[in-house]
């Protein structure tokens, strides 16, 4: 499955996320970014992949990141402060890949995400969410390419694993791992999660902590 994080790492991560986690701000444009004072870990994924649910599960707080069924209209980077004193930030990146997105919106997404990935020195890692029912799709390859090109290290995280059988999960895991091994900036190990069942959440917390060093 995922990396063997030891008990100590899992406990340290649990403690941090049991403490203060608070929404800081939304940045629709790069000039609205908060000052880069602490390390950041970004979450990316296609619209409806379960990103908001996973952020809520990570922080153990229900209304932190809004969950909804209406595919993302907003093209913003959302920043969350973790720790008091502030230790690091989580960045909820705008979703992609929803049907009927106007060309303008796609262009705006591309600029915002690309500029952020290339210019953000404090960005330590990205976690790219992939729906376990589908695996990596064509729409996901663009963000993976952007991350590889910008040399931002990332990990692939499978979501909604409660929706598939164990045999299907093993199969998608293997396929996704094989794809990750071909990508220069990808971590070779995949984390399987279910926000619904709480599966993989301790490991994901540990992966965030590991990323910020």
Binding site for Mg ion (CB under 5 A): 51-52
Minimum gap (Å) between residue 182 Cβ and ligand GDP? 25
Interaction mask 76-105, ligand GDP, x per CB under 6 A: -------------------x----------
Least distance (Å) between residue 80 CB and ligand GDP: 14
Out of 60, 67, 108, 114, the residue judged to bind ligand GDP by CB under 6 A? 67
Alpha-carbon span 124 to 38, nearest angstrom: 10
C-beta nearest to Mg ion: residue: 52
For residue 160, report the phi and psi dihedrals to the nearest 5 degrees: 55, 40
Give CA–CA dist 42/90, Å, rounded.
Answer: 6
Please give the radius of gyration of the chain, using alpha carbons only, rounded to the nearest integer: 16
Q: What angle do CA 40, 46, 49 make, to 5 degrees?
A: 90
Residues touching ligand GDP: how many (CB under 6 A)? Answer: 20
Helix (H) or strand (E) holding 179: helix 166-181
160 binds, options ligand GDP, Mg ion, none, Cβ within 5 to 8 A by partner type: ligand GDP
């Amino acid at each position: 499955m995922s990396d063997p994080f030891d008990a100590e790492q899992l406990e340290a991560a649990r403690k941090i996320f049991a403490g203060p986690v608070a929404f800081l701000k939304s940045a629709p444009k790069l000039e609205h970014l908060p000052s880069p004072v602490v390390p950041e870990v970004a979450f990316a994924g296609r619209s409806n992949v379960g990103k908001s649910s996973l952020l809520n599960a990570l922080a153990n707080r229900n209304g932190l990141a809004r969950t909804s069924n209406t595919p993302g209209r907003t093209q913003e980077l959302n920043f969350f402060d973790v720790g008091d004193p502030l230790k690091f930030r989580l960045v909820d990146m705008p979703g992609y890949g929803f049907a009927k997105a106007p060309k303008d919106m796609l262009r705006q997404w591309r600029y915002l995400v690309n500029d952020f990935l290339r210019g953000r020195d404090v960005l330590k890692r990205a976690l790219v969410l992939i729906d376990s029912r589908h695996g990596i799709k064509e729409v996901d390859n663009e963000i993976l390419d952007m991350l590889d090109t910008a040399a931002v290290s990332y990990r692939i995280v499978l979501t909604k694993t409660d929706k598939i059988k164990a045999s299907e999960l093993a199969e998608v895991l293997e396929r996704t791992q094989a794809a990750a091994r071909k990508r220069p900036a990808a971590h070779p190990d995949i984390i399987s999660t279910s926000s619904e069942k709480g599966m993989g959440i301790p490991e994901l917390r540990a992966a965030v902590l590991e990323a910020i060093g």
